[in-house]
Amino acid sequence: KNQVEQSPQSLIILEGKNCTLQCNYTVSPFSNLRWYKQDTGRGPVSLTIMTFSENTKSNGRYTATLDADTKQSSLHITASQLSDSASYICVVKIGGSEKLVFGKGTKLTVNP
């Protein structure tokens, strides 16, 4: 069964600290892996997309890694800001399909 598991479910950190969110998937065939940020009351917004051959990809203070062998990805946030408070969703695209498998998300709270 195609599944995407994210951990932790929720995380609270202080402003300025770093954090890492985890994503494990059992999707086959694999096409690409996406990280989305969803602010409360808004739709998800794409942060990164990683294909099979990409190990690391950065978008500002966000760095995503992908290990296709172990089927794991992580999203590292550096020097967190209050505006980083949101849910972060890991999404895997099924190869040869228009369908995405969504994780349940990690809810990040950044406190001053």
Binding site for another protein (CB under 8 A): 4, 31-32, 34, 36, 41-46, 49, 51, 89, 97-105
Would you say 28 and 1 are in contact if contact means Cβ atoms under 8 Å apart?
no
Closer residue to another protein, CB minimum distance, 15 or 68 = 68
- Characterise 104 by phi-psi region: left (phi > 0), alpha (psi -120 to 50), beta (else): alpha
Q: How far is the CB of 52 from another protein (least distance, A)?
A: 10
Query: Taking a C-beta distance cutoff of 8 angstroms, is the pair 92, 25 a contact?
Result: yes
> Smallest distance from the beta carbon of 69 to another protein, in angstroms?
20
Residue 74 contacts residue 88 (beta carbons within 8 Å):
no
Q: Whose Cβ is closer to another protein: residue 9's or residue 112's? A: 9
Which residue, 13 or 100, has its beta carbon nearer to another protein? 100
